[in-house]
Structure 1
Amino acid sequence: MNDAIVRAGNSQLQHGAYNDRIYLMKLAEDDYPGILDDLEKLALDQGYGKIVAKIPDWARSGFLQMGYQQEAAVPGLFNGVADGYFVSKFLSDSRAREKDPEGAAAVIHTASVRCREREDEVKMPERSFHCRICKDTDVSQMAQVYQTVFETYPFPVHDPEYIAKTMLHNFVYLGIWHDEKLVALSAIEIDLQSANGEMTDFATLPAYRGRGLSHFLLYQAEQVVGGKDIRTVYTIARATSFGMNITFAKRGYIYTGRLVNNTNISGSFESMNVWYKPL
Protein backbone atom coordinates (compact mmCIF):
# COMPACT_ATOMS: atom_id res chain seq x y z
CA MET A 1 0.00 0.00 0.00
CA ASN A 2 1.33 3.41 -0.95
CA ASP A 3 1.95 6.14 1.57
CA ALA A 4 -0.59 8.95 1.86
CA ILE A 5 -0.02 12.44 0.47
CA VAL A 6 -1.74 14.91 2.79
CA ARG A 7 -1.96 18.59 3.64
CA ALA A 8 -0.56 19.84 6.94
CA GLY A 9 -1.86 23.38 7.16
CA ASN A 10 -0.71 24.85 3.86
CA SER A 11 2.23 22.47 3.60
CA GLN A 12 2.27 19.10 1.85
CA LEU A 13 3.77 15.86 3.08
CA GLN A 14 3.82 12.16 2.34
CA HIS A 15 3.92 9.57 5.10
CA GLY A 16 3.22 5.92 5.71
CA ALA A 17 4.52 2.51 6.69
CA TYR A 18 5.68 1.60 3.17
CA ASN A 19 8.59 4.07 3.16
CA ASP A 20 8.60 4.11 6.97
CA ARG A 21 9.08 7.87 6.91
CA ILE A 22 7.60 11.33 6.63
CA TYR A 23 8.60 13.36 3.57
CA LEU A 24 7.84 17.07 3.90
CA MET A 25 7.51 17.86 0.21
CA LYS A 26 6.51 21.50 0.44
CA LEU A 27 6.84 23.82 3.43
CA ALA A 28 4.53 26.84 3.70
CA GLU A 29 6.04 29.77 5.58
CA ASP A 30 2.95 30.28 7.75
CA ASP A 31 3.22 26.68 9.05
CA TYR A 32 6.74 27.26 10.37
CA PRO A 33 8.00 26.69 13.06
CA GLY A 34 4.94 24.88 14.46
CA ILE A 35 5.21 22.14 11.87
CA LEU A 36 8.44 20.94 13.50
CA ASP A 37 6.52 19.68 16.52
CA ASP A 38 3.77 18.26 14.30
CA LEU A 39 6.27 16.22 12.28
CA GLU A 40 7.93 14.91 15.43
CA LYS A 41 4.62 13.88 16.98
CA LEU A 42 3.42 12.13 13.83
CA ALA A 43 6.71 10.23 13.45
CA LEU A 44 6.73 9.08 17.08
CA ASP A 45 3.04 8.14 17.06
CA GLN A 46 3.50 6.02 13.92
CA GLY A 47 6.93 4.66 14.80
CA TYR A 48 8.58 5.92 11.60
CA GLY A 49 12.33 5.55 11.12
CA LYS A 50 13.01 8.81 9.28
CA ILE A 51 11.75 12.31 8.61
CA VAL A 52 13.09 14.01 5.47
CA ALA A 53 12.20 17.57 4.53
CA LYS A 54 12.78 19.68 1.42
CA ILE A 55 13.04 23.21 2.79
CA PRO A 56 14.15 26.74 1.83
CA ASP A 57 17.13 28.46 3.39
CA TRP A 58 15.06 30.48 5.86
CA ALA A 59 13.95 27.29 7.67
CA ARG A 60 17.30 25.48 7.69
CA SER A 61 18.62 26.64 11.07
CA GLY A 62 15.37 25.78 12.83
CA PHE A 63 15.37 22.23 11.49
CA LEU A 64 19.05 21.73 12.36
CA GLN A 65 18.40 22.93 15.91
CA MET A 66 15.72 20.22 16.20
CA GLY A 67 18.23 17.45 15.44
CA TYR A 68 17.96 17.27 11.66
CA GLN A 69 21.08 16.89 9.55
CA GLN A 70 21.69 18.27 6.09
CA GLU A 71 21.95 15.54 3.46
CA ALA A 72 21.91 17.65 0.28
CA ALA A 73 21.81 21.30 -0.82
CA VAL A 74 20.42 22.67 -4.08
CA PRO A 75 21.56 26.22 -4.93
CA GLY A 76 18.77 28.36 -6.37
CA LEU A 77 16.09 25.70 -5.86
CA PHE A 78 13.51 28.36 -5.07
CA ASN A 79 13.02 30.76 -7.98
CA GLY A 80 16.67 30.51 -8.94
CA VAL A 81 17.59 32.72 -5.98
CA ALA A 82 17.02 31.03 -2.60
CA ASP A 83 18.87 27.81 -1.87
CA GLY A 84 17.02 24.63 -0.93
CA TYR A 85 18.02 21.85 1.42
CA PHE A 86 17.15 18.22 2.05
CA VAL A 87 17.42 17.72 5.80
CA SER A 88 16.69 14.51 7.68
CA LYS A 89 16.12 13.24 11.17
CA PHE A 90 16.80 9.57 11.80
CA LEU A 91 14.71 7.95 14.51
CA SER A 92 16.54 4.62 14.52
CA ASP A 93 20.23 3.76 14.33
CA SER A 94 19.69 1.17 11.61
CA ARG A 95 17.95 3.68 9.35
CA ALA A 96 20.90 6.08 9.64
CA ARG A 97 23.46 3.39 8.75
CA GLU A 98 24.26 3.38 5.03
CA LYS A 99 24.42 -0.16 3.62
CA ASP A 100 26.98 0.23 0.84
CA PRO A 101 28.84 3.55 1.03
CA GLU A 102 31.74 2.20 -1.04
CA GLY A 103 29.39 1.15 -3.85
CA ALA A 104 27.63 4.52 -3.80
CA ALA A 105 30.99 6.33 -3.90
CA ALA A 106 32.04 4.23 -6.91
CA VAL A 107 28.89 5.31 -8.77
CA ILE A 108 29.63 8.99 -8.15
CA HIS A 109 33.27 8.56 -9.18
CA THR A 110 32.27 6.88 -12.44
CA ALA A 111 29.62 9.51 -13.15
CA SER A 112 32.14 12.31 -12.54
CA VAL A 113 34.44 10.78 -15.15
CA ARG A 114 31.66 10.17 -17.67
CA CYS A 115 30.38 13.75 -17.36
CA ARG A 116 33.09 14.73 -19.87
CA GLU A 117 31.03 12.95 -22.54
CA ARG A 118 28.36 15.67 -22.41
CA GLU A 119 26.45 16.31 -25.64
CA ASP A 120 24.69 19.62 -26.32
CA GLU A 121 22.09 17.85 -28.45
CA VAL A 122 20.87 14.29 -27.99
CA LYS A 123 19.33 12.46 -30.92
CA MET A 124 16.88 9.57 -30.90
CA PRO A 125 18.96 6.37 -31.00
CA GLU A 126 16.97 4.68 -33.78
CA ARG A 127 14.49 5.81 -36.43
CA SER A 128 11.88 3.25 -35.42
CA PHE A 129 11.47 5.07 -32.07
CA HIS A 130 9.48 8.25 -31.51
CA CYS A 131 9.02 10.46 -28.48
CA ARG A 132 6.12 12.68 -27.39
CA ILE A 133 4.34 14.08 -24.37
CA CYS A 134 1.96 11.50 -22.95
CA LYS A 135 -1.81 12.04 -23.02
CA ASP A 136 -4.60 10.82 -20.77
CA THR A 137 -5.36 8.10 -23.32
CA ASP A 138 -1.90 6.63 -22.63
CA VAL A 139 -2.29 6.05 -18.89
CA SER A 140 -3.04 2.32 -19.09
CA GLN A 141 0.09 1.69 -21.16
CA MET A 142 2.09 3.90 -18.82
CA ALA A 143 0.96 2.01 -15.74
CA GLN A 144 1.88 -1.28 -17.43
CA VAL A 145 5.42 -0.05 -18.07
CA TYR A 146 5.82 1.01 -14.44
CA GLN A 147 4.39 -2.32 -13.26
CA THR A 148 6.93 -4.18 -15.38
CA VAL A 149 9.93 -2.11 -14.32
CA PHE A 150 9.18 -1.61 -10.62
CA GLU A 151 7.90 -4.35 -8.37
CA THR A 152 7.06 -1.59 -5.89
CA TYR A 153 7.51 2.19 -5.98
CA PRO A 154 7.24 5.05 -3.45
CA PHE A 155 4.38 6.67 -5.39
CA PRO A 156 1.41 4.81 -6.96
CA VAL A 157 2.60 4.98 -10.57
CA HIS A 158 1.17 1.46 -11.09
CA ASP A 159 -2.31 3.02 -10.96
CA PRO A 160 -3.65 4.60 -14.19
CA GLU A 161 -5.99 6.83 -12.16
CA TYR A 162 -3.08 8.26 -10.18
CA ILE A 163 -1.16 9.01 -13.37
CA ALA A 164 -4.21 10.70 -14.92
CA LYS A 165 -4.72 12.79 -11.78
CA THR A 166 -1.10 14.01 -11.74
CA MET A 167 -1.39 14.97 -15.42
CA LEU A 168 -4.20 17.35 -14.50
CA HIS A 169 -2.04 19.09 -11.94
CA ASN A 170 1.70 19.60 -12.17
CA PHE A 171 3.17 16.57 -13.95
CA VAL A 172 4.28 16.26 -17.57
CA TYR A 173 5.09 12.74 -18.76
CA LEU A 174 7.26 11.91 -21.75
CA GLY A 175 7.18 8.56 -23.51
CA ILE A 176 9.15 6.76 -26.17
CA TRP A 177 7.31 4.36 -28.46
CA HIS A 178 8.80 1.62 -30.61
CA ASP A 179 6.30 1.40 -33.41
CA GLU A 180 3.06 1.33 -31.34
CA LYS A 181 4.57 -0.01 -28.12
CA LEU A 182 5.41 2.27 -25.19
CA VAL A 183 8.90 1.24 -24.07
CA ALA A 184 10.27 4.10 -21.91
CA LEU A 185 8.91 6.85 -19.67
CA SER A 186 9.90 9.80 -17.55
CA ALA A 187 8.11 12.58 -15.72
CA ILE A 188 8.65 16.19 -14.75
CA GLU A 189 7.06 17.47 -11.56
CA ILE A 190 6.79 21.21 -12.15
CA ASP A 191 6.56 23.76 -9.34
CA LEU A 192 5.80 27.05 -11.09
CA GLN A 193 5.54 28.93 -7.80
CA SER A 194 9.14 28.04 -6.95
CA ALA A 195 10.33 27.91 -10.58
CA ASN A 196 11.83 24.43 -10.26
CA GLY A 197 11.23 21.01 -11.74
CA GLU A 198 12.03 17.51 -10.55
CA MET A 199 13.09 15.02 -13.22
CA THR A 200 11.65 11.76 -12.00
CA ASP A 201 9.97 8.38 -12.64
CA PHE A 202 12.35 7.13 -15.36
CA ALA A 203 11.51 3.63 -16.53
CA THR A 204 12.66 1.59 -19.53
CA LEU A 205 11.41 -1.90 -20.36
CA PRO A 206 14.23 -4.45 -19.85
CA ALA A 207 14.43 -5.43 -23.53
CA TYR A 208 15.09 -1.80 -24.53
CA ARG A 209 17.80 -0.85 -22.03
CA GLY A 210 21.29 0.13 -23.14
CA ARG A 211 20.06 2.24 -26.08
CA GLY A 212 20.26 5.66 -24.42
CA LEU A 213 16.49 6.12 -24.12
CA SER A 214 16.67 7.68 -20.63
CA HIS A 215 19.33 10.07 -21.86
CA PHE A 216 17.07 11.15 -24.70
CA LEU A 217 14.06 11.50 -22.37
CA LEU A 218 16.08 13.74 -20.04
CA TYR A 219 17.17 15.90 -22.95
CA GLN A 220 13.58 16.24 -24.14
CA ALA A 221 12.38 17.02 -20.61
CA GLU A 222 14.85 19.90 -20.45
CA GLN A 223 13.38 21.29 -23.67
CA VAL A 224 9.90 21.15 -22.10
CA VAL A 225 10.85 23.00 -18.90
CA GLY A 226 12.90 25.49 -20.89
CA GLY A 227 9.65 27.04 -22.11
CA LYS A 228 8.02 27.26 -18.67
CA ASP A 229 10.16 29.84 -16.79
CA ILE A 230 11.84 27.12 -14.73
CA ARG A 231 15.13 28.23 -13.19
CA THR A 232 16.42 25.03 -11.59
CA VAL A 233 15.91 21.33 -12.25
CA TYR A 234 16.91 18.49 -9.96
CA THR A 235 16.54 14.77 -9.50
CA ILE A 236 16.65 12.16 -6.75
CA ALA A 237 18.32 9.07 -8.27
CA ARG A 238 19.04 5.63 -6.85
CA ALA A 239 22.53 5.80 -5.35
CA THR A 240 23.62 2.42 -6.72
CA SER A 241 22.37 2.95 -10.28
CA PHE A 242 25.35 3.59 -12.54
CA GLY A 243 23.11 4.23 -15.55
CA MET A 244 20.88 6.99 -14.16
CA ASN A 245 23.65 8.80 -12.29
CA ILE A 246 25.84 8.78 -15.41
CA THR A 247 22.88 10.03 -17.46
CA PHE A 248 22.46 13.08 -15.24
CA ALA A 249 26.20 13.76 -15.04
CA LYS A 250 26.47 13.71 -18.84
CA ARG A 251 23.68 16.32 -19.05
CA GLY A 252 25.63 18.70 -16.81
CA TYR A 253 23.88 18.02 -13.50
CA ILE A 254 25.89 18.55 -10.31
CA TYR A 255 25.94 16.00 -7.49
CA THR A 256 25.07 17.60 -4.17
CA GLY A 257 24.43 14.89 -1.58
CA ARG A 258 22.88 11.55 -0.67
CA LEU A 259 19.64 10.78 1.17
CA VAL A 260 20.51 7.71 3.23
CA ASN A 261 18.06 4.78 3.31
CA ASN A 262 15.42 7.12 2.01
CA THR A 263 13.12 5.27 -0.34
CA ASN A 264 11.53 1.83 -0.53
CA ILE A 265 12.04 0.55 -4.06
CA SER A 266 11.16 -3.05 -4.89
CA GLY A 267 10.97 -4.02 -1.24
CA SER A 268 14.10 -2.54 0.35
CA PHE A 269 15.29 0.88 1.46
CA GLU A 270 17.68 2.56 -0.96
CA SER A 271 19.84 5.63 -0.60
CA MET A 272 19.20 8.33 -3.17
CA ASN A 273 21.58 10.81 -4.81
CA VAL A 274 20.52 14.41 -5.37
CA TRP A 275 21.64 16.16 -8.57
CA TYR A 276 20.71 19.64 -9.80
CA LYS A 277 21.22 21.89 -12.80
CA PRO A 278 20.61 25.64 -13.12
CA LEU A 279 18.90 26.62 -16.36
Structure 2
Amino acid sequence: MNQTSETIYLEDSHFFLEVYLDPFNKRIRVDDYRGNLNLILEKTEELIKKHQAEKLIFKGRTEDSLKLLEHALQPEAVVDRYFLGSDAHFFSKFFTPERKKNDHWITEDGMVHSIYQLDISVEKAFPPKEYELKKADERYAVELAALYGQVFQIYPTPMNDPEYIKKTMKDGTIYYAFLYQGKIVSAASAEINGFYKNAELTDCATLTEHRKYGLMKLILKEIEAELKRKGIFCAYSIARSLSFGMNAVLYQLGYSYRGRLMNNCYIYDKLENMNMWVKNLANC
Protein backbone atom coordinates (compact mmCIF):
# COMPACT_ATOMS: atom_id res chain seq x y z
CA MET A 1 0.00 0.00 0.00
CA ASN A 2 1.19 3.55 -0.54
CA GLN A 3 1.42 5.54 2.69
CA THR A 4 -1.40 8.03 2.11
CA SER A 5 -4.78 7.15 3.62
CA GLU A 6 -7.82 8.01 1.55
CA THR A 7 -11.52 7.34 1.14
CA ILE A 8 -12.59 5.91 -2.21
CA TYR A 9 -16.06 5.38 -3.67
CA LEU A 10 -16.89 2.48 -5.98
CA GLU A 11 -20.22 1.90 -7.69
CA ASP A 12 -21.85 0.20 -10.64
CA SER A 13 -25.40 -0.87 -11.47
CA HIS A 14 -25.38 -3.42 -8.60
CA PHE A 15 -23.73 -1.74 -5.63
CA PHE A 16 -22.24 1.34 -3.97
CA LEU A 17 -19.19 1.08 -1.72
CA GLU A 18 -17.36 3.61 0.47
CA VAL A 19 -13.95 2.33 1.54
CA TYR A 20 -11.23 3.86 3.72
CA LEU A 21 -7.75 2.78 2.64
CA ASP A 22 -5.43 2.91 5.64
CA PRO A 23 -1.86 1.95 4.65
CA PHE A 24 -0.22 3.05 7.90
CA ASN A 25 -2.31 0.54 9.87
CA LYS A 26 -2.24 -2.03 7.04
CA ARG A 27 -6.02 -2.27 6.95
CA ILE A 28 -9.05 -1.48 4.83
CA ARG A 29 -12.35 -0.31 6.34
CA VAL A 30 -15.76 -0.46 4.66
CA ASP A 31 -17.61 2.57 6.04
CA ASP A 32 -20.78 2.38 3.93
CA TYR A 33 -22.38 0.21 1.29
CA ARG A 34 -25.60 -0.46 -0.61
CA GLY A 35 -26.70 -3.11 -3.04
CA ASN A 36 -25.56 -6.67 -3.79
CA LEU A 37 -23.62 -7.81 -0.73
CA ASN A 38 -21.95 -10.75 -2.50
CA LEU A 39 -20.49 -8.42 -5.13
CA ILE A 40 -19.52 -5.91 -2.45
CA LEU A 41 -17.53 -8.56 -0.57
CA GLU A 42 -15.87 -9.74 -3.79
CA LYS A 43 -14.79 -6.20 -4.58
CA THR A 44 -13.56 -5.73 -1.02
CA GLU A 45 -11.38 -8.86 -1.23
CA GLU A 46 -9.92 -7.53 -4.50
CA LEU A 47 -8.95 -4.32 -2.70
CA ILE A 48 -7.35 -6.31 0.12
CA LYS A 49 -5.15 -8.18 -2.36
CA LYS A 50 -4.34 -5.06 -4.38
CA HIS A 51 -3.26 -3.05 -1.35
CA GLN A 52 -1.77 -5.99 0.60
CA ALA A 53 -3.82 -5.18 3.69
CA GLU A 54 -3.64 -7.40 6.76
CA LYS A 55 -7.07 -6.63 8.22
CA LEU A 56 -10.53 -5.81 6.88
CA ILE A 57 -13.03 -3.91 9.01
CA PHE A 58 -16.62 -3.94 7.75
CA LYS A 59 -19.34 -1.75 9.29
CA GLY A 60 -22.33 -3.99 8.64
CA ARG A 61 -26.03 -3.49 9.16
CA THR A 62 -27.99 -5.80 11.45
CA GLU A 63 -29.88 -7.41 8.57
CA ASP A 64 -26.60 -8.37 6.85
CA SER A 65 -24.93 -9.96 9.90
CA LEU A 66 -25.63 -13.59 8.94
CA LYS A 67 -24.41 -13.03 5.38
CA LEU A 68 -21.18 -11.51 6.71
CA LEU A 69 -20.69 -14.55 8.97
CA GLU A 70 -21.17 -16.81 5.93
CA HIS A 71 -18.26 -15.01 4.28
CA ALA A 72 -16.00 -15.79 7.27
CA LEU A 73 -16.06 -12.31 8.76
CA GLN A 74 -16.06 -12.19 12.56
CA PRO A 75 -18.14 -9.85 14.76
CA GLU A 76 -15.94 -7.65 16.94
CA ALA A 77 -18.07 -4.76 18.20
CA VAL A 78 -21.42 -2.97 17.92
CA VAL A 79 -22.29 0.73 17.84
CA ASP A 80 -25.92 1.26 18.86
CA ARG A 81 -27.94 3.55 16.54
CA TYR A 82 -24.94 4.29 14.25
CA PHE A 83 -26.91 4.32 10.97
CA LEU A 84 -29.58 6.99 11.68
CA GLY A 85 -30.83 4.98 14.63
CA SER A 86 -29.97 1.47 13.36
CA ASP A 87 -27.08 -0.47 14.90
CA ALA A 88 -23.73 -0.93 13.15
CA HIS A 89 -21.95 -4.26 13.58
CA PHE A 90 -18.18 -4.06 13.21
CA PHE A 91 -16.99 -7.25 11.51
CA SER A 92 -13.39 -8.15 10.71
CA LYS A 93 -11.32 -10.55 8.68
CA PHE A 94 -7.59 -11.15 9.03
CA PHE A 95 -5.24 -11.93 6.15
CA THR A 96 -1.97 -12.84 7.90
CA PRO A 97 -1.44 -15.24 10.83
CA GLU A 98 0.59 -12.61 12.70
CA ARG A 99 -2.25 -10.07 12.60
CA LYS A 100 -4.60 -12.61 14.20
CA LYS A 101 -2.29 -13.42 17.14
CA ASN A 102 -2.61 -11.57 20.43
CA ASP A 103 -1.05 -11.97 23.86
CA HIS A 104 -3.14 -9.44 25.80
CA TRP A 105 -6.74 -10.62 25.27
CA ILE A 106 -7.24 -12.35 28.64
CA THR A 107 -5.63 -9.45 30.52
CA GLU A 108 -7.92 -7.00 28.73
CA ASP A 109 -10.99 -9.12 29.54
CA GLY A 110 -10.03 -8.79 33.20
CA MET A 111 -9.62 -5.03 32.85
CA VAL A 112 -13.14 -4.63 31.43
CA HIS A 113 -14.48 -6.67 34.36
CA SER A 114 -12.58 -4.45 36.82
CA ILE A 115 -13.89 -1.27 35.21
CA TYR A 116 -17.48 -2.46 35.59
CA GLN A 117 -16.88 -2.69 39.36
CA LEU A 118 -16.06 1.04 39.57
CA ASP A 119 -18.33 3.56 41.21
CA ILE A 120 -20.32 5.21 38.42
CA SER A 121 -21.17 8.29 40.47
CA VAL A 122 -18.77 10.66 38.76
CA GLU A 123 -17.19 13.01 41.24
CA LYS A 124 -17.42 16.67 40.31
CA ALA A 125 -14.10 17.76 38.88
CA PHE A 126 -13.00 21.29 39.67
CA PRO A 127 -9.56 21.94 38.22
CA PRO A 128 -7.68 24.99 39.52
CA LYS A 129 -8.77 28.32 38.04
CA GLU A 130 -5.57 28.47 35.95
CA TYR A 131 -7.15 25.89 33.61
CA GLU A 132 -9.36 27.27 30.83
CA LEU A 133 -11.64 25.08 28.67
CA LYS A 134 -12.02 26.30 25.09
CA LYS A 135 -13.25 25.14 21.71
CA ALA A 136 -10.09 24.93 19.59
CA ASP A 137 -10.21 26.30 16.04
CA GLU A 138 -7.54 26.40 13.33
CA ARG A 139 -5.49 28.94 15.31
CA TYR A 140 -4.67 26.13 17.75
CA ALA A 141 -3.64 23.55 15.13
CA VAL A 142 0.09 23.91 15.81
CA GLU A 143 -0.39 23.55 19.57
CA LEU A 144 -2.73 20.58 19.17
CA ALA A 145 -0.19 18.88 16.91
CA ALA A 146 2.54 19.46 19.49
CA LEU A 147 0.38 17.92 22.24
CA TYR A 148 -0.35 14.77 20.22
CA GLY A 149 3.27 14.46 19.16
CA GLN A 150 4.33 14.63 22.79
CA VAL A 151 1.76 12.19 24.20
CA PHE A 152 1.90 9.48 21.50
CA GLN A 153 5.06 7.92 20.09
CA ILE A 154 2.89 6.34 17.38
CA TYR A 155 -0.63 7.36 16.37
CA PRO A 156 -2.98 5.87 13.75
CA THR A 157 -3.42 9.24 12.02
CA PRO A 158 -0.89 12.08 11.54
CA MET A 159 -2.19 14.18 14.44
CA ASN A 160 1.30 15.64 14.92
CA ASP A 161 0.83 17.52 11.62
CA PRO A 162 -0.95 20.91 11.99
CA GLU A 163 -2.10 20.82 8.35
CA TYR A 164 -3.78 17.47 8.91
CA ILE A 165 -5.58 18.86 11.96
CA LYS A 166 -6.76 21.87 9.93
CA LYS A 167 -8.08 19.49 7.26
CA THR A 168 -10.08 17.53 9.85
CA MET A 169 -11.56 20.79 11.14
CA LYS A 170 -12.63 21.75 7.61
CA ASP A 171 -14.23 18.30 7.33
CA GLY A 172 -16.35 18.97 10.42
CA THR A 173 -14.32 17.54 13.32
CA ILE A 174 -14.67 19.63 16.48
CA TYR A 175 -11.91 20.01 19.09
CA TYR A 176 -12.03 21.10 22.72
CA ALA A 177 -8.97 21.72 24.87
CA PHE A 178 -7.85 22.82 28.31
CA LEU A 179 -5.26 25.60 28.38
CA TYR A 180 -2.87 26.09 31.28
CA GLN A 181 -0.95 29.35 31.33
CA GLY A 182 -2.06 29.85 27.75
CA LYS A 183 -0.78 26.48 26.49
CA ILE A 184 -2.84 23.42 25.53
CA VAL A 185 -2.31 20.59 28.03
CA SER A 186 -5.35 18.38 27.30
CA ALA A 187 -7.56 17.93 24.25
CA ALA A 188 -10.08 15.68 22.51
CA SER A 189 -12.19 15.78 19.37
CA ALA A 190 -15.42 14.52 17.86
CA GLU A 191 -15.37 13.24 14.29
CA ILE A 192 -18.92 13.88 13.10
CA ASN A 193 -20.80 11.87 10.48
CA GLY A 194 -23.39 14.42 9.43
CA PHE A 195 -25.34 12.03 7.20
CA TYR A 196 -25.84 9.22 9.71
CA LYS A 197 -25.89 11.55 12.74
CA ASN A 198 -23.19 9.89 14.82
CA ALA A 199 -19.87 11.02 16.24
CA GLU A 200 -16.67 9.31 17.31
CA LEU A 201 -15.06 10.90 20.36
CA THR A 202 -11.35 10.50 19.75
CA ASP A 203 -7.86 12.01 19.93
CA CYS A 204 -7.96 12.12 23.74
CA ALA A 205 -4.63 13.28 25.14
CA THR A 206 -3.45 14.92 28.37
CA LEU A 207 0.10 15.75 29.37
CA THR A 208 1.18 13.50 32.26
CA GLU A 209 1.67 16.28 34.81
CA HIS A 210 -1.91 17.53 34.29
CA ARG A 211 -3.77 14.21 34.62
CA LYS A 212 -4.83 14.53 38.26
CA TYR A 213 -7.66 17.03 37.75
CA GLY A 214 -10.12 15.01 35.62
CA LEU A 215 -9.69 17.32 32.63
CA MET A 216 -10.65 14.70 30.04
CA LYS A 217 -14.04 14.04 31.62
CA LEU A 218 -14.85 17.74 31.46
CA ILE A 219 -13.71 18.00 27.83
CA LEU A 220 -15.81 15.01 26.77
CA LYS A 221 -18.89 16.36 28.58
CA GLU A 222 -18.46 19.67 26.73
CA ILE A 223 -18.17 17.83 23.41
CA GLU A 224 -21.29 15.81 24.21
CA ALA A 225 -23.22 19.01 24.90
CA GLU A 226 -22.27 20.41 21.48
CA LEU A 227 -23.21 17.14 19.76
CA LYS A 228 -26.65 17.25 21.37
CA ARG A 229 -27.10 20.84 20.17
CA LYS A 230 -26.36 19.55 16.66
CA GLY A 231 -28.99 16.81 17.00
CA ILE A 232 -26.43 14.01 17.24
CA PHE A 233 -27.21 11.42 19.90
CA CYS A 234 -25.08 8.41 18.88
CA ALA A 235 -21.66 8.91 20.46
CA TYR A 236 -18.95 6.29 20.54
CA SER A 237 -15.29 6.08 21.41
CA ILE A 238 -12.55 3.55 20.70
CA ALA A 239 -10.02 3.34 23.55
CA ARG A 240 -6.73 1.48 23.90
CA SER A 241 -7.63 -1.80 25.59
CA LEU A 242 -4.53 -1.63 27.79
CA SER A 243 -5.34 1.88 29.06
CA PHE A 244 -7.27 1.46 32.32
CA GLY A 245 -7.60 5.23 32.80
CA MET A 246 -9.26 6.08 29.48
CA ASN A 247 -11.62 3.10 29.60
CA ALA A 248 -12.58 4.03 33.17
CA VAL A 249 -13.29 7.64 32.12
CA LEU A 250 -15.70 6.44 29.42
CA TYR A 251 -17.46 3.99 31.74
CA GLN A 252 -17.90 6.63 34.44
CA LEU A 253 -19.32 9.04 31.84
CA GLY A 254 -22.07 6.52 31.07
CA TYR A 255 -20.61 4.70 28.05
CA SER A 256 -21.25 0.97 27.65
CA TYR A 257 -18.68 -1.57 26.50
CA ARG A 258 -19.58 -2.99 23.10
CA GLY A 259 -16.65 -5.19 22.09
CA ARG A 260 -12.97 -5.15 21.15
CA LEU A 261 -11.21 -4.62 17.83
CA MET A 262 -8.21 -6.97 17.69
CA ASN A 263 -4.84 -5.67 16.49
CA ASN A 264 -6.73 -2.70 15.18
CA CYS A 265 -4.16 0.07 14.77
CA TYR A 266 -0.68 1.27 15.62
CA ILE A 267 -0.95 3.55 18.62
CA TYR A 268 1.27 4.66 21.50
CA ASP A 269 4.17 2.32 20.73
CA LYS A 270 2.77 -0.77 18.97
CA LEU A 271 -0.17 -2.50 17.27
CA GLU A 272 -2.98 -2.61 19.84
CA ASN A 273 -6.46 -3.90 20.55
CA MET A 274 -9.11 -1.22 20.97
CA ASN A 275 -12.26 -1.29 23.13
CA MET A 276 -15.53 0.08 21.77
CA TRP A 277 -17.65 2.26 24.10
CA VAL A 278 -21.08 3.65 23.12
CA LYS A 279 -23.49 6.17 24.64
CA ASN A 280 -26.98 7.35 23.70
CA LEU A 281 -26.82 11.08 24.39
CA ALA A 282 -30.63 11.34 24.17
CA ASN A 283 -30.79 9.72 27.60
CA CYS A 284 -28.71 12.34 29.40
Which of 30, 34, 41 pairs up with 1:29? Answer: 34
Pair 262,22 (structure 1): closer, same or farther in 2 beyond 3 Å: same
Question: Aligned with 1:110: secondary structure?
Answer: helix
State how far apart, in whole Å, the 1-side matches of 2:9 and 2:194 are.
20
Instruction: State the aligned residue count.
Output: 275
Could you tell me how far 1:163 is from its partner in structure 2? 0.8
| CA deviation after TM superposition for structure 1 residue 154, in Å | 0.9
Unaligned runs of 5+ in 1: none
Change (3 A) 1:225 1:98: same
Taking a change above 3 Å as real, the CA distance of residues 16 and 219 of structure 1, as seen in their structure-2 partners, is: closer
Question: Does structure 1 residue 141 correspond to structure 2 residue 143?
Answer: yes
Describe the SS at the equivalent of 1:152: coil
For 1:13, the equivalent position in structure 2 comes to 19
Deviates more, 1:102-111 or 1:237-246: 102-111
Cα distance in structure 1, aligned partners of 2:3 and 2:168 = 15
Who is 1:207 aligned against?
209
Cα offset for 1:267?
Answer: 4.2
Query: RMSD across aligned C-alpha pairs, in angstroms?
Result: 1.9
Separation in structure 2 between the aligned mates of residue 207 and residue 3 of structure 1, nearest angstrom: 34
Match of 1:83 among 87, 93, 118: 87
Q: Secondary structure at the match of 1:208?
A: helix
Q: Which runs of 5+ in 2 are unaligned?
A: 11-15
Farther-moved stretch of structure 1 (95-104 vs 185-194): 95-104
Aligned mates of 1:72, 1:241 — CA distance in 2: 18
1:161 — aligned with what? 163
Q: Is contact 2:261–2:276 with CA below 8 Å preserved after alignment?
A: yes
Q: State the distance in 2 between where 1:251 and 1:236 align.
A: 14
2:13 maps to none
CA-CA distance at 1:125 after TM superposition: 1.8
Which structure 2 residues correspond to residues 87-126 of structure 1 after superposition, within 5 A? 87-118=91-122, 122-126=124-128
Deviates more, 1:35-44 or 1:244-253: 35-44
Q: Is the 8 A contact 2:58 2:90 kept in 1?
A: yes
Alpha carbons of 1:116 and 1:157: their partners in 2 closer, same or farther (altered >3 Å)? same
User: Which protein has greater RCO, CA pairs closer than 8 Å, 6+ apart?
Assistant: 1
Residue 50 of structure 2 is aligned to residue 45 of structure 1:
yes
Question: How many Å separate the matches in 2 of 1:103 and 1:4?
Answer: 32
Distance 2:190 2:126 in 1: 19
Deviation at 1:105, TM superposition (A): 1.6
1:258 to 244, 260, 272: 260
- 1:39–1:188 CA distance, 2 compared to 1 (3 A): same
- The one of 73, 77, 88 equivalent to 1:72 is 77
TM norm structure 1: 0.92
What SS does the corresponding residue of 1:116 show, helix, strand or coil?
A: coil
Hey, what's the Cα distance between the residues in 2 that align with 1:213 and 1:253? 17
Structure 1 runs, 4 residues or longer, greater than 6 Å off: none
* 1-structure distance, mates of 2:168, 2:255: 25
Q: Does 1:237 align with 2:227?
A: no
For 2:68 and 2:21, the matched residues in 1 are separated by 18
